Amino acid sequence: MSASPQDIMTAKLFFNAAFPTMQVLLDDVPKLHKKFEKIQATVQFGAKNNGQLLCCHMIFDHAQVTVVQGPAEKADLTLTFSSVEKMNALLRGGLAIPSIKGKLSLLPPVLSLLMGLMIMSPKKKPKDFAGQALKVKCSLYMITRALSQYNKLGDSDIQEFCQRQPDRIYQFTVAHDGDPNYIACYLRIKAGQSKSGHGVYTRRSPFVHFCFKSVEGAMKVLQKEVEFVEGVEKGYVETIGSPEYACYLNDYMSILQGMLT
């Protein structure tokens, strides 16, 4: 039985948008960094779909990871699910068991890293500042990348949204301890093309700037503890620029968060 177009889109978004945030975990979580600092290996992760394989592979090189779409020429460890639905369920925090082939010694650190991605789940509510900052950083990096990938992967609604924009920057920043750009990332849209990036885009002023006033406030908005409009009213986030397009983008963010978490 073939996976639905929605399930395939979700899987590709996991591969293209969520998996690259593994680098944030490797950089910012000392325990995970230590587990991978001596590892040089390729890990393939995917699912069977109507006789074909939908997958990506991760190339680990001393706590650096590169995510490549498609199968690896030679994988040291392979995790393959019997269906795309089961794979997506696991990545959302559910239970599913893949077939496992290769170096089993790689399995514990790889699973630790995959479970680390659950920091972005609505069920995860870190109480300490470091955990909250990690959640906000991963979530914003993931969602800006997902917005760009959603366009590139062919969703007709967001493609129409992107095609009608000349060259615009959607900037996201989170302030902390006097630093207005403590966490920063952006989405650039130009005549149907899109690209996400980390940091502050400096070549053009933002068309819309989402300014989160604190990590705690960003948590509340991203966790949907408060709706976006309520977050603005309570001072958790300020939008500078076009309110109409800020609402459009927030709607797409909500769709993607629903798909990936």
User: Helix, strand, coil % (nearest 5) of the chain?
Assistant: 45, 25, 25
pLDDT of residue 171: 98
Q: Distance between CA atoms of 137 and 182, rounded to whole angstroms?
A: 9
Q: What's the pTM value of the predicted model, to 2 decimals?
A: 0.95
What residue ranges define each of the domains in the chain, with the CATH number in brackets?
A: 5-120 (3.30.1050.10), 129-260 (3.30.1050.10)
Q: Name the residue among 66, 228, 73 with its Cα closest to residue 143.
A: 228
Residue 74 confidence class, pLDDT cut points 50, 70, 90: very high
For 154-180, what is the mean pLDDT?
Answer: 96
Torsion from C-alpha of 228, 135, 25, 187, nearest 10 degrees: 10
Ramachandran bin of 93, using left for φ above 0, alpha for ψ from -120 to 50, beta for the remaining angles: left
Residue pLDDT, tens place only, 223-256: 889 988 899 999 999 999 999 999 999 999 999 9
Q: Distance between CA atoms of 168 and 41, rounded to whole angstroms?
A: 39
Q: What angle do CA 94, 41, 11 make, to 5 degrees?
A: 35
For 110-139, what is the mean pLDDT?
Answer: 95
Residue 82 confidence class, pLDDT cut points 50, 70, 90: very high
Residue pLDDT, tens place only, 136-161: 999 999 999 999 999 999 999 999 99
Task: Fill in the amino acid letter for 32.
Answer: L
Q: Distance between CA atoms of 47 and 62, rounded to whole angstroms?
A: 27
Q: Distance between CA atoms of 135 and 146, rounded to whole angstroms?
A: 16
Q: In this structure, are residues 127 and 134 in contact, taking their beta carbons and an 8 Å threshold?
A: no
Q: Distance between CA atoms of 104 and 76, rounded to whole angstroms?
A: 9
pLDDT of residue 1: 67
Q: Where are the beta strands (DSSP E) in 50-167?
A: 52-61, 65-69, 77-81, 99-102
For 79-96, what is the mean pLDDT?
Answer: 95
Residue pLDDT, tens place only, 15-43: 999 999 999 999 999 999 999 999 999 99
